[in-house]
Chain A
Amino acid sequence: APAPTKPRGAGAEAWGPPSPALLEPARFALEMYNRDRAPGTQAVLRAVRGRVRQADQGSLYSLEASLEEPPCNDPTVCQLPVSKKTLLCSFEILDELGKHMLLRRDCSPVDTKVTDGKNQTLSSVISLLNKGPLSKDFSMQMLSVFKNFLTTYNRTYESKEETQWRLSIFINNMVRAQKIQALDQGTARYGITKFSDLTEEEFRTIYLNPLLREDPGKKMRVAKPVGDP
């Protein structure tokens, strides 16, 4: 993947040339990002910076990368005719004996407008749900929590890549659950469930019922109110 030293992302303008040590994990992160995408629809790496930390299981890379999505030209696929989109991503990658594992992936467009957070608007709350820093310790802890999840719910995946992909979804979901927890006004507890390795989109597609919001359905007569017992 090309890695020019001049990034285009607004938040990445001060970045210098990437350290050669970061290129390999950066390429791996890009490969995971482009997983299941057809050639021509894959994002390219524009810039990367980061650092490495030695951990018990190997080396833990924390990367910030600027990616560029290609323009969408297929009107049957694109929701809107858009130009190239630049994303700022943060990745955490564990290198264990030369084998890489994606622990975390957070990407957002560089032109995202974040509200001041004082008003409880949908966009500000959604932004809070989808963004936010993760500590490295958290990612490491999540690895063992994920192993427990696999045992508890008897999960097996078809390949190592699938397992890595599910791990990154699981970690993102745990962060999401924590934020839902923080925003809940009742006494509910949110956390690991049997659906924790599914993306929100997968969960909606498999388990929910979009017709309820789309179709008013047959009009029924209104029930008489019950009297005083």
Chain B
Amino acid sequence: APPEWDWRNKGAVTNVKNQGMCGSCWAFSVTGNVEGQWFLKQGTLLSLSEQELLDCDKMDKACLGGLPSNAYSAIKNLGGLETEEDYSYQGQMQACNFSAEKAKVYINDSVELSHNEQKLAAWLAKKGPISVAINAFGMQFYRHGISRPLRPLCTPWLIDHAVLIVGYGNRSDIPFWAIKNSWGTDWGEQGYYYLHRGSGACGVNTMASSAVVE
């Protein structure tokens, strides 16, 4: 892996979004990944619809939570994702209003990624932003800097939040993952969370995945 990488500088990442009072992080994590994959294959960055997943992905539970692996299947089975503009976010489940004619993006498959953070970094630099799930310990009060909670407090088996890794690097020799969150720009570092890289902090390496666009 290169020593540092940031897909934000390369136009592969849309603006930070806000899930509101709804446990829909899984949808934002997945659309962020698909936005990146589509950009890398097609050269166009489109902001994609989370609301379509809340309404139409019947394997998941909208604001009560969901799984990226189910969401990839739903996108594939539905026939694609509409854009944010065409199917805008409401922050609560509504009747499915997906229209195949309006779908702008499709995926062919989804893959599970390595638990090795060095390999994850290499994959990210070559293939694009990665959907991950983490233990959100401390994030209620996070303001800035690189978070590295004590392991007993942020155990990898209590995963409860899905986010998107968009880059990595080092700050004063401390390695970090740059993580796009979905709690608006008035949280964290303009909506981003920086988590220690290389120690399996908060289970960041346990549920890494990506859509495949061919």
Contact = CB atoms under 8 A, between A and B. Distances in A.
A173 interface: yes
A64 to B, nearest CB: 27
Interface in A152-193: 173, 176-177, 180, 183-193
B114 interface: yes
29 contacts: A120-B150, A173-B140, A183-B153, A186-B145, A187-B174, A188-B194, A189-B142, A189-B144, A190-B142, A191-B141, A192-B143, A196-B141, A200-B140, A203-B140, A204-B160, A207-B161, A208-B161, A209-B65, A210-B23, A211-B66, A211-B67, A212-B26, A212-B160, A217-B67, A217-B68, A220-B72, A220-B209, A221-B112, A229-B126
A77 interface: no
B19 A207 contact: yes
A187 B110 contact: no
Sort A-B residue pairs by CB-CB distance and give the 3 closest, nearest first: A186-B148, A211-B65, A223-B111
B187 A226 contact: no
Given A198-B140, A210-B65, A221-B109, A183 B23 contact: no
B160 to A, nearest CB: 4
B150 A185 contact: yes
A147 interface: no
A185 B143 contact: no
Interface of B: 2, 19, 21-23, 25-26, 59-61, 64-70, 72-73, 109-114, 119, 122-123, 125-127, 133, 136-138, 140-150, 152-153, 155, 157-162, 171-172, 174, 183-184, 186-187, 194, 196, 207, 209-210
A220 B69 contact: yes
A187 B146 CA distance: 5
A206 interface: yes
A213 B157 contact: yes
Contact of B162 (A193, A212, A220): A212
Contacts of B210: 223
Contacts of B68: 217
Chain A interface residue number, banded = 35 or more
Contacts of A125: 150, 152-153
Contact of B187 (A122, A194, A217, A218): A194
A225 B119 contact: yes
Interface of A: 120-122, 125-126, 129, 173, 176-177, 180, 183-196, 198, 200, 203-213, 215, 217-223, 225-226, 229
A39 B127 CA distance: 59
B141 A190 contact: yes
Nearest to B195: A186
Contacts of A207: 19, 21, 23, 25, 161, 183
B126 A221 contact: no
A225 B109 contact: no
Contacts of A218: 59, 67, 69-70, 73
B146 A186 contact: yes
A173 to B, nearest CB: 7
A209 B160 contact: yes
A194 B18 CA distance: 13
B210 to A, nearest CB: 7
A176 B141 contact: yes
A187 B176 CA distance: 11
B112 A225 contact: no
B162 A187 contact: no
B208 to A, nearest CB: 9
Given A122-B152, A187-B146, A223-B112, 14 more contacts: A177-B141, A180-B141, A180-B149, A187-B171, A188-B145, A189-B144, A191-B143, A200-B140, A207-B161, A212-B161, A213-B158, A219-B69, A222-B111, A229-B125
